[in-house]
Every structure is written in structure tokens, then in C-alpha cells.
Amino acid sequence: MLVHTIAPVYDEYSRILILGSFPSVKSREQQFFYGHKQNRFWKVMAQVLDCEVPESIAQKKEMLLSHHIAVWDVIASCEITGSSDASIRDVTPNDLSKILESADIRAIYTNGGKAYQLYQKYLLPATGREAYLLPSTSPANAGYSLERLVEAWRVIQKAEEG
């Protein structure tokens, strides 16, 4: 059983919450979200938010928080083989109440289908709040070019502005 040890990124000004499924092997090693160099999350977010691609964890946090974006994962602990979402089982979900009670989250997005599926099963009943499915930024989602991902993820920019 692996336990999620990366703290959520959010503050009282967060308005958008992006949820992944569970940290990859590389993210667990780095102790921060989307740590695999092939994951396109940071490139997509930088383009959507019209920023430089952040390099350090501090820069990544600053980019997210300055645009009122919170990031965490659906799963608190699970069995997983490597970084494969398809292998996830024995899920214990994260408790989103701390974020939802301290920040005015206006929209929840999931990074990929597995995060969306797990949100629907475990967190929607607890939160009563719909989440919107965005295509995964994982390198496993080879069907989406960087350009297609950016286009799909632009809904975050619109939500942040609204």
C-alpha cells in the first residue's frame, strides 16, 4: 500500500482545483506533482496561463497560486504498479474538505480519465460538486499533442478570468 505524501498546493485565494489520480514514481521521488519530465502538465499550464514554464518547485507553486489554482490528487493511498493508473486498486480517497472549506473553489477539474472516474466514485458523493474531465497530460496519453492539450485546458484560463 502506497501513501500519498505530497501536500496539496492551495491557499485561501484558490478558485480552481485540479485533481490528478495518484503521484507517479518520479513525482513521489521529487515530492511534488507532475515530476516526470515527459509529463506535459507544467508546459500546458504555462501556455494556458501565458507564463514561463516553471522549473523549481517554488516556481511551480508560485505559478499556480498566483493564478488562484489549487492542485492535489483524488487518492490518499492505494496499491499501484509503478505509475500505471490502470493498475490502481484498494483506493482510499483524499479528504477535500480542508481545501473546499478554506478556499472559494469555483471549479474542479480532473487531469485524465482515471482521476475523473475515481472522483465520481469516491469524492462526488462526499463533496456534491461536479468535476470536469480534462485530457491527461501524462506521456501515456500520446493521442493528444501538446497543442491539443493546451486547447482543451484553456477552460481553466476562462474559469480563472471569470
Query: How high is the pLDDT of residue 162?
Result: 63
Of 98, 78, 105, nearest to 18 (Cα)? Answer: 105
The helix/strand/coil state of 97 is helix
Residue 4: all three cell numbers together:
500519498
Query: How high is the pLDDT of residue 158?
Result: 76
What global pTM score does this model have?
A: 0.96
Q: What is the Cα gyration radius of the chain?
A: 14
For domain 2-161, give the fold.
Answer: Uracil-DNA Glycosylase, subunit E (3.40.470)
| Mean pLDDT, rounded, of the chain | 96
Q: What does the pLDDT look like over 75-88, one tens digit per residue?
A: 999 999 999 999 99
Q: What does the pLDDT look like over 131-160, one tens digit per residue?
A: 999 999 998 898 999 999 999 999 998 776
Which residue type does 70 have? Answer: A
Which tops the pLDDT comparison, 105 or 162? 105
- Give mean pLDDT, residues 18-46: 96
